[in-house]
Structure 1
Amino acid sequence: MVDIGFRYLSGRVNKLVFVVFVVILFYTLSLFIVPLTLEPGTVEGLDGAANRIVHREEWEDLPYYHRAIYLFSDLNCHQKHERSYSLNGNQMPVCARDVGIFIGFSLGFLLMSFVRGARNLKDILLDTMNLDTSISEIKKTIILIILGAAFTLPLILDGSIQLISDYESFNAFRTFTGLLFGFGFSVFISGIILSSSPFEDY
């Protein structure tokens, strides 16, 4: 047992959650590697829409690795240049908020790779936050609702207010709200995986 203040962290790795972590980490690192390894000015001034490929022609002349990352990101992100970071004179494959989300995913899945499974979902989530699990089920639910709101509401409010008003967020805050959401969401998804399967099976 690795004692770093969390009661249910273990020196063993939950292989299923760890595989998810590795895949997410590869993509997250690629978001930085790709613009840094292209000639400056290769990708800039993008302005698209989420959930559809808008800039297919932009990626045709890129190396295969770079093309794959930008193409996948094109499908999942609006890629608006004013809401994105640039590295080495190239726009990153996703917007500032999505950068935070994927960093949060990576951190959350890494942490949860070391959490024991085969327990109640609420207990797993409370243990992950180093909170007491001996309280009543109602209190557990209330605490988890509060924690869920803390991780998700900043992103929801920032994005919604920006959508319906003249308010314009800034990239550092977009990244911060994305990181909170990504971490909270990945911990929740990992908790579902862990609660349905015993740790020893991995």
Structure 2
Amino acid sequence: MLHELLHFFGRAICHQLEERSLLVSGEALAVCARDTGIYIGIFSTFIYLHFTKRKQCITIPTVKISFFLLLLLIPLIIDGLGSYSHFFGSNNLRRLLTGISFGLVLPYFIYPLLSKRSLDYESKSVVSSSIDFLVPLLVSVFLGGLFYLGQPSHLILDCFIAFSIIGWFGLLASFLFQFVHSRRFKSFFSIIVSLALLSILSMVHEWILSLTL
């Protein structure tokens, strides 16, 4: 039942093609290698920012740093377009790495929008030193290595993926509840919306697949 539930949430955002997914103990993970990389990257950067920047008044990266970060989105775009257009082949390692590169960038632009604003303090860039980029990068590479090597079990890895998907959609949903002052209630409502939206997307995906069979 847990296996089905985790793949249910994975189906909300992924095609779940087995040949494009990492296999652990003969089981395909809940999302493809590319989406696995994306959510590893998102998780690594978000966790770092949450524990190091949540009490600071921060803003999105400077123009120079933003340009560098946006360049990291390009490998996935090239690999995805080339693969789906059959212009060139790809493999799961490349999908995983380009996914990490893509996902790593996103929280740098989303998380600062949730930062507390204060007239007493000047906002700082979310990336104020190389450490703010290198730590999430190293965490992503470490987690990516565990996933690629299939360590630990596929259920633990799928739980990580599902947690990251629900958390990311919850973070995006939190923008709907800016009027809620209690952080606890805001988090609760955001997760409920995230679960509801992912459930709808998963059921729609399953319905569309049933029509094509």
How far residue 179 of structure 1 moved from its aligned partner, in angstroms, is 0.7
1:171 aligns with 2:171: no
| Aligned structure 1 segments of 4 or more residues deviating by more than 4 angstroms | 195-199
DSSP 3-state at the match of 2:31:
coil
Judged with a 3 Å threshold, the aligned counterparts in structure 2 of structure 1 residues 112 and 80 are, in CA distance, closer, same or farther, namely same
Give runs of aligned pairs for residues 29-44 of structure 1, distance below 5 A: none
Judged with a 3 Å threshold, the aligned counterparts in structure 2 of structure 1 residues 165 and 196 are, in CA distance, closer, same or farther, namely farther
DSSP 3-state at the match of 1:76:
coil
1:192 aligns with 2:113: yes
Query: Which of 1 and 2 has greater Rg?
Result: 1
Which residue identity lines up with residue 100 of structure 2 in the other structure?
Answer: L
Judged with a 3 Å threshold, the aligned counterparts in structure 2 of structure 1 residues 84 and 117 are, in CA distance, closer, same or farther, namely same
1:75 aligns with 2:8: no
Per the alignment, residue 143 of structure 1 pairs with 65
How far residue 195 of structure 1 moved from its aligned partner, in angstroms, is 5.9
Q: Is the contact between residue 81 and residue 91 of structure 1 (CA under 8 Å) also seen in structure 2?
A: yes
- Work out the number of aligned pairs and report it: 120
Per the alignment, residue 26 of structure 2 pairs with 89
* Equivalent-residue separation in structure 1 for 2:28 and 2:86 (angstroms): 26
1:181 aligns with 2:120: no
1:26-77 CA distances to partner (integer Å, 9 max, x unpaired)? xxxxxxxxxxxxxxxxxxxxxxxxxxxxxxxxxxxxx1x2221111111211
Structure 2 gaps of 5+ residues are 124-181, 184-213
**Between the two proteins, what is the percent identity of the paired residues?**
30
Judged with a 3 Å threshold, the aligned counterparts in structure 2 of structure 1 residues 80 and 196 are, in CA distance, closer, same or farther, namely farther
Normalising by the residue count of structure 2, what TM-score does the alignment of the two structures yield?
Answer: 0.51
Judged with a 3 Å threshold, the aligned counterparts in structure 2 of structure 1 residues 87 and 181 are, in CA distance, closer, same or farther, namely same
Normalising by the residue count of structure 1, what TM-score does the alignment of the two structures yield?
Answer: 0.53
Once superposed, what is the RMSD of the aligned Cα atoms?
Answer: 2.5
Judged with a 3 Å threshold, the aligned counterparts in structure 2 of structure 1 residues 99 and 196 are, in CA distance, closer, same or farther, namely farther
* Equivalent-residue separation in structure 1 for 2:116 and 2:109 (angstroms): 10
* Equivalent-residue separation in structure 2 for 1:172 and 1:144 (angstroms): 26
Per the alignment, residue 118 of structure 1 pairs with 57
Which residue identity lines up with residue 63 of structure 2 in the other structure?
Answer: T
Judged with a 3 Å threshold, the aligned counterparts in structure 2 of structure 1 residues 157 and 166 are, in CA distance, closer, same or farther, namely closer
Structure 1 gaps of 5+ residues are 1-62, 126-139
How far residue 152 of structure 1 moved from its aligned partner, in angstroms, is 0.7
Per the alignment, residue 106 of structure 1 pairs with 43
Per the alignment, residue 161 of structure 1 pairs with 82
* Equivalent-residue separation in structure 1 for 2:100 and 2:65 (angstroms): 20
How far residue 166 of structure 1 moved from its aligned partner, in angstroms, is 3.3
Which residue identity lines up with residue 11 of structure 2 in the other structure?
Answer: D
Higher helix share: 2
